[in-house]
Amino acid sequence: MITFPERAKVGKIVAKEYFYKNIDAATKNLFQSEIARIIWEYKLAPNTINLPVKKWAEIEVFRIVLKNGEIPEKVLRTIDSVIPYPILFIIEKGSVKKAAICYKEQSQKNENAVKVDTYFYTEWNDEKLQNIRIDGLNIDTVFSNFVRQIAGDKLTATKKNNKEKFPNSIKEDIETLKERERIMKQVAVLDRKIKMEPSLGKKQSLAEERYRLKQQLL
């Protein structure tokens, strides 16, 4: 089990009803059918882990106990939309565990609102669970490093200007990842079109377009 300093411990059950405001019936049903309990396990803040604030005031650690199956991302998005801080999720199903985290940003217009972006997950009982730790000089870098620890190879840090000591920000790496995924989807569409296209000339044109996209991935 991932553990943090004892003084950061909260250990309170959060009622599922807390998240029911402004959600549709289908999402409410997911909470009721898939989630057994939500426990606020830790609060990582200046007074609990002795690190200063930059943008984020704190990070929450929630343990979610499932009834069965996988965690619906719609449930995580609902929780992340309500809680105005980053959340590290520890998800339990019987004797197995996994971690999940969303890269989220603070709203420029409302300090209590957040932009919920991309989710990353470990596998069940993944070795990466043992590597999740507090790492950083402030709350923001701890959050960024939680994202990197869970994302693993999906967010291999690239370097700016070929200078090893200037890694990209977590936001830049996530934007790069999303762009790569967008291009890969386009390549997959072209693969299907090439396979189905009867005209040799059109096949060649589609293959050239696919090649240009693959070059962008390099």
Per-residue pLDDT of the chain (218 residues; tens, 9 = 90+): 678 999 999 999 999 999 999 899 999 999 999 999 999 999 999 999 999 999 999 999 999 999 988 899 999 999 999 999 999 999 999 999 999 999 999 877 776 788 888 999 999 998 888 889 999 999 999 999 999 999 987 776 444 444 444 466 888 888 888 788 888 888 888 888 888 888 888 888 888 888 888 887 77
Same structural domain for residues 182 and 147? no
What local confidence, expressed as pLDDT, does residue 166 receive? 45
Asked whether the beta carbons of 158 and 134 are under 8 A apart, the reply is no
Same structural domain for residues 136 and 96? yes
Alpha-helical segments (H) within the chain: 25-34, 46-49, 73-82, 139-151, 170-196, 200-217
Same structural domain for residues 53 and 94? yes
Domain limit, last residue, from 98, 128, 153: 153
Same structural domain for residues 45 and 73? yes
What local confidence, expressed as pLDDT, does residue 168 receive? 67
What local confidence, expressed as pLDDT, does residue 1 receive? 61
Residue 73, domain member (yes or no) = yes
**Amino acid letter, residue 24:** D
What local confidence, expressed as pLDDT, does residue 130 receive? 84
Same structural domain for residues 138 and 55? yes
Residue 165, domain member (yes or no) = no
Cα–Cα distance for residue pair 146/135, rounded to 1 Å = 8
Determine which helix (DSSP H) or strand (DSSP E) holds 61, and give its type and residue range. Answer: strand 59-66
Residue 160, domain member (yes or no) = no
| Residue ranges with strand state E in 67-171 | 87-93, 96-106, 114-121
Instruction: Strand 35-44: give its sheet, edge to edge.
Output: 9-13, 35-44, 59-66, 87-93, 96-106, 114-121
Same structural domain for residues 183 and 146? no
* Total tally of structural domains belonging to the chain: 2
pTM (global) more than 0.85: no
Same structural domain for residues 145 and 208? no
- Phi and psi torsions of 146, nearest 5°: -60, -45
- Write out the two tokens for 34: 């898939």
Domain limit, last residue, from 123, 153, 183: 153
Residue 83 CB partners (closer than 8 Å, separation 6+):
60
Domain that holds residue 84: 6-153
Residue 132, domain member (yes or no) = yes
Cα–Cα distance for residue pair 189/185, rounded to 1 Å = 6
Same structural domain for residues 188 and 105? no
Domain limit, last residue, from 153, 184, 208: 153
> For the purposes of burial, counting CB atoms within 10 Å of the CB of 158, is it exposed (0-12), middle (13-18) or buried (19 or more)?
exposed
